[in-house]
Amino acid sequence: MKNIYHLLFIGILFIGCNSNISNENTTEIGSVLLDESSEMTPLFAGKISNQEIWLRYIQAHNDKNLDIIAEINADDWEGYTADGSVVKGSAAHIEILDNWFKSANPKWEVKWMIANAAKNNEGVVEQWLTTGNDYSDVDENGNEIFEHNVHDIMFVDGKIKKINVYSRAKAQESAEFSY
């Protein structure tokens, strides 16, 4: 009987130490080609708690609250926009937003979010949140701007480290179709 308890304890210890993604769902939901990788890596369900961080981040942008944005950004924050622009560093990001917010009133509405995670080449689990957001503003001539954005956000220790932005213009039934 004593041996059964020892085996049970060892089995529980083995299972607990052998988890691929600690404290998260290990159900494979797809695959991803991570930066500097040459083959697809399994993609798993990620930390749902990152959704709350993203909602707070978007609200801070809508409120033009640079302090909260800076608090959520990692110091080595990186942003990659749909037009190919790259910004590195939280301080640079905040400076750009400060200048933009003085002459514009951008708003975002989060439409959907998918938390996902994958191990990078070093075996470290990267936490990501992929989101669909509607972006609106008014240009300097008073014309409405509307885009559908997908933000792919990397989280490290509860902070946003990287954002990739993809964009599509508002659908127009009368527009000629083209790629």
Kindly state whether residue 149 falls inside one of the protein's structural domains: yes
- pTM of the entire predicted model: 0.81
**Structural domains counted in the chain:** 1
Region 68-97: mean pLDDT is 97
DSSP character for 106? Answer: -
Residue 159: half-sphere exposure toward Cβ, Cα within 13 Å: 16
Tally of CB atoms within 10 A around 69: 22
Query: Is 1 among the domain residues?
Result: no
Residue 13 has pLDDT above 80, yes or no: no
Residue 2 lies in a domain: no
Domain range spanning residue 135? 24-169
Strand partners, 28: 44
**pLDDT at residue 12 is higher than 80:** no
Torsion, Cα of 67, 84, 130, 27 (10° steps): -130
Contacts with 5 (C-beta within 8 Å, 6 or more apart), sequence order? none
The tens digit of pLDDT for each residue in 100-152 reads: 999 999 999 999 999 999 998 888 999 999 999 999 999 888 899 999 999 99
Query: Do residues 158 and 53 lie in contact, with contact meaning Cβ atoms separated by under 8 Å?
Result: yes
Question: For residue 16, is it within any domain?
Answer: no
Query: Tell me, what CATH number does 88's domain have?
Result: 3.10.450.50
Q: Contact 99/78 with Cβ under 8 angstroms? A: no
